[in-house]
Amino acid sequence: MDYTTLKTKKDGEIAIVTISRPDSLNALNSTFFKEFNAYLDSIDKDGNVKALVITGDGKAFIAGADIAEMQNMSKDEGFQFSKTGQNTFLRLENLNIPVIAAINGYALGGGCELALACDFRISNNYGKFGLPEPGLGLIPGYGGTQRLSRLSGLGNALFLSLTGQMIDSAEALRMGIVQKVVDASELLNESLDIAKKIIVHGPNAIIALKKVIREGNKLDLNKAYDLESKEFSKLFESDGPEGMKAFLEKRKPNWN
């Protein structure tokens, strides 16, 4: 499929998608959401994608939802626009492959929210983060109010969203919003290297980790421990035997 808001490529088994509307700093509009969902469909169908890296075109990662498109929305249209974003980012969060945000510049509003729905975030030293919505008379509507407080704590979420203040990548690292900051020239290579280190692991172990950490985070602690034991034990009938045998035989595992 030809996309107007995305550039897509693959590096071996790693898919790379670049959000590309540089004239509006990659602001997220309805066309983006349609195309991004179609792109996620294509990853499902491909069957040979083991990790996804998301980045932005030009000087921005994503400068938020498209303000020009939102400006004339009714309350019902606003509700739908929020649900479309929430559902898309939930889908992204629940992919059973690792998803890395490679943040190359402004990650504001909906852009920050998309990054928060990824498994983790690598930023270059130009990364800028913020939830400026209250300055527009709005609030984040794509899950960001909930994800930010769970990731970085209530105080940081309230501080960033109430002030609408932009922070740089060093501050985002300190708040636990990004996991690593690298030089601009290294961003994509570093993100791909990290993805490559992940995908040599047992594929079922990766799926189980995402499930246990993400679902467990929403559960009562005892239920979360039960989920961990259940998923741990299931691996004794999938990746576990080969992974442990390969270790003891001093060779690389063959997951097939």
Marked catalytic residue, from 35, 133, 190, 231: 133
User: Least separation, in Å, of the C-beta of 42 and ligand COA?
Assistant: 26
Q: Could you confirm whether 242 is annotated as catalytic?
A: no
Site residues, ligand COA (CB under 6 A): 24-25, 27, 63-68, 106, 108-110, 132-133, 136, 138
233/251 Cα distance (integer angstroms): 23
Q: SS in 3 state form for the chain?
A: CCCCCEEEEEECCEEEEEECCHHHCCCECHHHHHHHHHHHHHHHHHCCCCEEEEEECCCEEECCECHHHHCCCCHHHHHHHHHHHHHHHHHHHCCCCCEEEEECCEEECHHHHHHHHCCEEEEECCCEEECCHHHHCCCCCCCHHHHHHHHHCHHHHHHHHHHCCCEEHHHHHHCCCCCEEECHHHHHHHHHHHHHHHHCCCHHHHHHHHHHHHHHCCCCHHHHHHHHHHHHHHHHHCHHHHHHHHHHCCCCCCCC
Shortest reach from residue 32's CB to ligand COA, in Å: 11
Nearer to ligand COA, 136 or 224 (CB): 136
Q: Which is nearer to ligand COA, 52 or 142 (CB)?
A: 142
Tell me whether residue 25 or residue 100 sits nearer to ligand COA (CB atom). Answer: 25
Q: CB of 125 within 8 A of CB of 169?
A: yes
Q: Which is nearer to ligand COA, 126 or 255 (CB)?
A: 126
Closest contact distance (angstroms) between CB of 15 and ligand COA is 25
Q: Which is nearer to ligand COA, 75 or 252 (CB)?
A: 75
Per annotation, catalytic residue among 113, 171, 186, 237? 113
Catalytic status, residue 113: yes
Least distance from C-beta 103 to ligand COA, angstroms?
13
Q: How far is the CB of 27 from ligand COA (least distance, A)?
A: 3
Residues annotated catalytic, as ranges: 113, 133
